[in-house]
Amino acid sequence: MDRDWARLGKALQAARRASGVTQEQLADELGVSRSVIQLIERGKEFSKPSQTQRAYARKVGWTDGSIEAVLAGGEPATREKDSPAAPAVREVRAESRLPLRIVDELADDGALLDTTVVPLGDDARMVVVVKGKPGASAAELRRDLEAWRAAYQHLLEAVEVERGGEDGPAASEA
C-alpha cells in the first residue's frame, strides 16, 4: 500500500498552525530539534510512523490511528478539547526528562491499571506504570491486572535476590 508522507506532513503542519503553535514551540514540547519538525512537515518518508510523529499528532489533537488514516488518503479524527480521552498525562513535557517513547506510551488511551515504585537499593528505584490496551473490555483488564499481580511478585523476588536477600547472593558477590 502506498503511503502519502507529503500529505501527512501538510496535514500535520496545517493542524499545528491552526492550533497557533510554532515549530520551535512544538519541538521544545516534544524534546526534539526544529529540524525534526521541519522534516516531518516536508513529508520525509519513513518505513513506518515514528514515535515523534505520533506525539506530534497527539499534540495537535489527533486521535490514535489518524496518522495511518491520512497516509492512506483519509482524514484525521480529532479529540474533543475537554474529552476524558485526553488525560493530564498527555501534558508531560520535554522538561520532564522522560524519553519520548515513554511519554508516548503514557499518553495512549489504555486504562491505568497500577503504578508502583520498587526500591532497588540505597540509591536506586524502579518506577512501574501498568496500562491496559486502549479499548480493552472489563474482562481483558481484569485478566491484565491479574497477570501484573503475578509478575509483580516475581519482580519483588528478583529484586530481593539481586539485593542479597535470603534467596541468593547480591549481584556484587556473584
CA angle 13, 7, 56 (to 5 degrees): 40
pLDDT of residue 96: 60
Tens digits of pLDDT across the chain (174 residues) = 578 999 999 999 999 998 888 999 999 888 889 999 999 999 998 888 988 999 999 989 898 889 999 998 889 988 764 344 334 334 444 446 777 777 777 777 778 888 888 888 778 888 888 888 877 888 888 899 899 999 999 888 888 887 776 544 443 443
Question: What is the predicted pLDDT for the residue at 56?
Answer: 92
The answer to pTM > 0.75 is: no
All three cell numbers of 154: 516475581
Residue 95 to residue 43: CA distance in whole angstroms: 27
- pLDDT for 80: 60
C-alpha cell at 147: 497477570
What the block records as the C-alpha cell of 84 is: 476524558
* pLDDT given for residue 165 in this prediction: 64
- Confidence at residue 166, expressed as pLDDT on a 0 to 100 scale: 53
pLDDT of residue 31: 87
H-type alpha helices, the chain? 5-18, 23-30, 34-42, 51-59, 66-71, 100-107, 138-162
